[in-house]
Structure 1
């Protein structure tokens, strides 16, 4: 066993609660997990009980459903049977597992509860140093800021055994380890979740996940603003206790939303020229200022004098945010295939020499608007194979785009372009084109772009697939685009147009 092991941790963009901060610290070390992060953390939820003001992100069964970790839970009895907590943690971390359990912070020198009161809180352990006898730990310690610190083996042991019987709501020790997983990023789902947030509707998961049924009367999405306003009015009357966490989460929500908008802009899924992320940054800044304003005013003995001002700021923030998001949502480019109107392949009769036994993976999918429908070759095709396009009327074509996912495993790499006369005879080779190395082996779309030296004017086009990545025993294409890009690229007007005649 090594004397020192520190598992990877990356400080998360939002913290909110330990279970969120700890998970994101682990999974966001994997760049592929960023798409999952932007797909989640868009919806908010809040109990309908004013004495439980835990505003939170609606992330159904987060640790158990996150595709980028392996999750397991062990009872305290099983941990105790391993000999000692110290050895159990060292072995778990040595095998690549992060350790999470409930401890008594009376024994935690990093906590404000240290040697003052019995206070239970979860602790996350991501490393150890046997020579110095310390564990590397993460949590909200002093000043309530999420941080990475060190605790001695002895302190962690006392925290663990200091939990009274029946008080462990985690019901044991949880272990997570990174999982390399391909995540399917769907912009249309982001838009749907955004609309749910705007309208304040109950997420579908509440209906279909049995473990979430108790939330059927909760408040969701933009509806939490009114609940927070009501909470402030009760607080001013000293009817409930103050809890700043809902306003931290409200601010974190704006951080996550702004990062999501920037991500969509970078992926050309939102128009950059509309500067949505710049506009939303103002919403984020105002949420932060509101949180700080509330912290300052709640320390004042005359809080009731400021409630109207706080509630007014809160509801104005809601109005401005919803107005902006209502403009963003319809501008998100969803999973539909692009430029169908300009893509003359849409009007073609398409045939292919290699057909999958799965009938739903035929060549017609090359122009189907549903991005989930793809064309797949037969298993272990004998290259070269071809894809033919035929039109009733001649088409002008100067640009060919072949789009694929999992391109390092399934993408075509060498394509020959041919055209024929009206009778379908005298096929003429117009060039052989090679694709450089694909960058991704995931759901992210990549394009092999072919710019013809001479524009074509023809009603018969053939793409001959000479080489392809076939790690999975076949090649696949999500979409083929055949375009006349003369208006977009004026330089193409100078290139001669090749017309084939019988």
Structure 2
């Protein structure tokens, strides 16, 4: 038995991989998805602290994205303590169309880099099982950090889960979110594209608007200043190479490109020129990411001046494209309001 999963556009972190895999198995999620995932943020410590990350805004350690998604509901439950109940409870959940997002000890997971090397708790997503072969169908990151659909035997999952119980009982006290299991259910619903939200989010991204929800967090275009600080620390051996930031930024540009394509497909917009420029922008971020990976392997780093000039150029291009997009969306939004008012006899309606 397998619960349906799709191919998410954002795979950089488990929080996105798991959630979007659930809701993307059909196209109903697209209006909600393209109305969100616009803003990015990072803590001010990012340039020198590798536990801090650049990510899509709304990230919340305790209930990441599920609370604001109309397509998924999450139940946080206490971790199971009786080994004999672990597999049976997991099987029952899947039978009830519930996806499982749990923490296991990577020491026991063959496709993880920590396998038989060190004990470390890590996320695992379970979406199915095969009783005849006694395996779970799982989604997770392999030794190269790439998300893959794989299988694990019941015995391995139980061993890894019990191992994580021991680790969590004896450490990771500050990682409160790891001390729970997460049962996620898919909800079928209808959601219309939220043009007002897209406009406000784009403006906040361009203006680097601060939010009370996340005080002192750096957002929007201001993130790139910290990215340049990080790179300076990296080439001067004050921190290590972390490709995740550059992968997230490529995903951000790719989602923006796909969003504009979607708007052009679903609404009476002529955005063809912007679509072409956004495709080139996301491709340049992909080239940058791949070049940095290659340079790390060959130990031939781009010098700091060249890197900063490249980032400044990319940011200038993006700012120009998104500013033009905002003008176009604002114009069409006002036009839509005007047409709606005319069809309702001049009444003042909100969209």
Q: Is the counterpart of residue 24 in structure 1 residue 20 in structure 2? A: yes
Q: Report the equivalent of 1:155.
A: 156
Equivalent residues of 2:337, 2:350 under 8 A apart: no
Give the Cα–Cα distance (whole angstroms) in 1 for the partners of residues 17 and 320 of structure 2. 30
Higher helix share: 2
Matched, 1:173 2:181: yes
Q: By how many angstroms is 1:267 displaced? A: 1.9
What is the rounded CA distance, in whole Å, between the counterparts of 2:158 and 2:72 in structure 1?
A: 26
Task: Indicate conservation of the 8 Å contact 2:75/2:184, yes or no.
Answer: yes
What do residues 245-290 of structure 1 show as CA deviations (whole Å, max 9, x unaligned)?
0000000001110011001111235314x42111110000000001
Moved more, 165-174 or 330-339: 330-339
2:32 corresponds, among 33, 36, 40, to 36
Checking the alignment, whether the CA contact within 8 Å between 1:82 and 1:88 is kept in structure 2 is: no
Corresponding residue of 2:206 = 198
Cα distance between partner residues in 2 of 1:327 and 1:369: 27
Residues 269 and 332 in structure 2, CA contact (< 8 A), matched pair in contact too: no
Q: Which has the larger radius of gyration?
A: 1
Structure with larger RCO (C-alpha < 8 A, sep 6+): 2
| Structure-to-structure mapping, 1:447-462, within 5 angstroms | none
Q: Secondary structure, in 3 states, of the residue corresponding to 1:54? A: coil
Q: Are the counterparts in 2 of residues 98 and 126 from structure 1 also a CA contact under 8 Å?
A: yes
- 8 Å CA contact retained: 2:18, 2:125: yes
Task: Provide structure 2 residue ranges, at least 5 long, that are not aligned to the other structure.
Answer: none
Equivalent positions of 1:9-88 (< 5 A) are 9-49=5-45, 50=47, 51=49, 52-60=51-59, 61-76=64-79, 79-80=80-81, 83-88=84-89
Q: Does 1:229 align with 2:222?
A: no
Asked whether 1:368 is paired with 2:347, we answer yes
- Map of 1:245 onto structure 2: 244
State the Cα distance separating 1:365 from its structure 2 match: 4.4
- Between the aligned partners of 1:310 and 1:285, the Cα distance in structure 2 is 17
Counterpart Cα distance in 2 of 1:369 and 1:283: 39
Q: Please, what is the CA RMSD of the aligned residues?
A: 2.2
**How many Å apart are 1:171 and its aligned residue?**
1.9
Q: Which residue of 2 aligns with 1:287?
A: 285
Q: Work out the CA distance in 2 between the residues paired with 1:90 and 1:72.
A: 16
Indicate which of 305, 308, 311 corresponds to 2:305. Answer: 308
CA distance in 2, matches of 1:368, 1:106: 64
Residues 186 and 334, structure 1, Cα contact 8 Å, conserved in 2: no
Give secondary structure in 2 for the equivalent of 1:201: coil
Question: When the two structures are aligned, how many residues end up with a matched partner?
Answer: 336
Deviates more, 1:56-65 or 1:165-174: 165-174
Contact 1:103/1:162 (CA < 8 Å) preserved in 2?
yes
SS at match of 1:73: strand
Task: Give 1:339 shift.
Answer: 8.3
**Contact 1:337 1:368 (C-alpha < 8 Å) held by counterparts:** no
Q: How does 1:93-242 map to 2 (within 5 A)?
A: 93-163=94-164, 164=167, 165=169, 166-167=171-172, 169-202=177-210, 206-207=211-212, 212=213, 215-242=214-241
Query: Is 1:324 matched with 2:321?
Result: yes
* Structure 1 residues 339 and 91: CA distance shift in structure 2, 3 A: closer
Q: Distance in 2 between matches of 1:19 and 1:340?
A: 40
Q: Could you tell which deviates more after superposition, 148-157 or 26-35?
A: 26-35
